[in-house]
Amino acid sequence: MSASDGIQKSQKVIECINCAAELLKLRTSEAATSALGSITEAMSISLYSEKLFEMKAEALCMSANKTEEAAAALAVTICELLKQKIPAGNTAFQSGRHTEAVEYYTSAISNSMESHAFAAICFCNRAAAHQALVDATLLSLLQTVFAFPLQAKEYFLDAL
């Protein structure tokens, strides 16, 4: 991703957050439902934003005033959003502690299988952490091969 892509994505997230914040100020179920659309769009870009999780919980509270079923679903969703394992895993991932992030996400998965949506988020986050670990391993291997090209065959055989 280029720097200009990153800036554009950041600007889009800020735009979505501002739009959702204005809608949430209206304190109506309809506005909250519209805010959820902006929040979802922002979360597709910025997966680890605590602010977006908080806004989503607030919007869900406002929009769930219609039925008991919606309120029950809301309670489950809010509990899922506020679980501590995901924020801890996200912090570890962003700090480059990918093995620790995998452990947090694995723990969250084992405690959340009743909610398929939440488990899916945990699995995706864990996959990203695993990918980061694989990328680091491959980079290390390539650096070794470039440093010692005559022994490349031995290194590859040892890696298998």
Q: Assess whether pLDDT exceeds 60 at residue 137.
A: yes
Q: Which two tokens stand for residue 133?
A: 């670990």
Q: Nearest-CA neighbor of 109 among 82, 132, 80?
A: 80
Tokens 């398929």, residue located: 116
98 vs 148, more confident: 98
Average pLDDT of the segment spanning 63-80: 58
Give the model's pLDDT for residue 85: 72
Q: What is the DSSP letter of 140?
A: H
The whole-number average pLDDT for the span 54-59 is: 80
Residue 107 or residue 153, greater confidence: 107
Query: How much is the mean pLDDT over the chain?
Result: 77
Where are the chain's structural domains?
Answer: 1-81, 83-160
CB within 8 A of 41, min separation 6: which ones? 12, 16
pTM of the model: 0.45
